[in-house]
Amino acid sequence: MTESWKGRHTILVVDDVSDNVALLSNLLAGTYRTLVATSGLEALNVARRSPHPDLILLDIVMPNMDGMEVCRQLKADPQTADIPIIFLTAQSDVQDEQAGLDLGAVDYITKPISAALVMARIKTHLHLKATRDFLKSKNEYLANEVGRRTREIAMIQDVTMVAMGSLAETRDTETGAHIHRTQHFMRLLATNARSLPELASQLTEEAVSTLYKSAPLHDIGKVGIPDHILLKPGKLTPEEFEVMKTHTTLGRQAILTAERYLGTSTSFLTIAREITWTHHERWDGLGYPQGLKEEAIPLSGRLMAIADVYDALRTARVYKPAFSHDKATEMIKEGKGTQFDARLVEVFLETASRWDEIYQESHSW
| CB-CB contact of 230 with 222 (8 Å) | yes
Domain 172-364 fold is Hypothetical protein af1432 (1.10.3210)
Helix (H) or strand (E) holding 51: none
Q: Note the pLDDT of residue 92.
A: 65
| CB-CB contact of 29 with 6 (8 Å) | no
Which residues touch 207 (CB under 8 Å, ≥6 apart)? 190
Q: Note the pLDDT of residue 175.
A: 54
Please name the amino acid found at residue 313: L
Give pTM, 2 decimals: 0.60
Q: What percent of the chain has pLDDT over 70?
A: 88
Encode burial over 255-288: b for 16+ CB neighbours within 10 A, e otherwise.
beebbeeeeeeeebbbbbbbbbbbbbbbbeeebe
User: What's the CATH architecture for 3-141?
Assistant: 3-Layer(aba) Sandwich (3.40)
Bridge-based pairing state of the strands 10-14 and 33-37 = parallel
Rounded to whole angstroms, the Cα distance separating 135 from 132 reads 5
Per-residue pLDDT of the chain (365 residues; tens, 9 = 90+): 444 445 689 999 999 999 999 999 999 998 999 999 999 999 999 999 999 999 999 999 899 999 999 999 999 999 999 999 999 887 767 777 788 888 889 998 888 889 999 999 999 999 999 888 888 888 888 888 888 777 766 666 666 666 666 666 655 555 557 788 999 999 999 999 999 999 999 999 999 999 998 888 888 888 888 988 988 888 899 999 999 999 999 989 988 887 887 776 556 788 999 999 999 999 999 999 999 999 999 999 999 999 999 999 998 877 788 999 999 999 999 999 999 999 999 999 999 999 999 999 987 77
Q: Note the pLDDT of residue 156.
A: 63
Q: Note the pLDDT of residue 222.
A: 86
Rounded to whole angstroms, the Cα distance separating 43 from 58 reads 9
- Delimit the domains of the chain by residue range: 3-141, 172-364
Residue-wise pLDDT tens digits, 76-91: 999 999 999 999 887 7
Residue count of the chain, please give it.
365
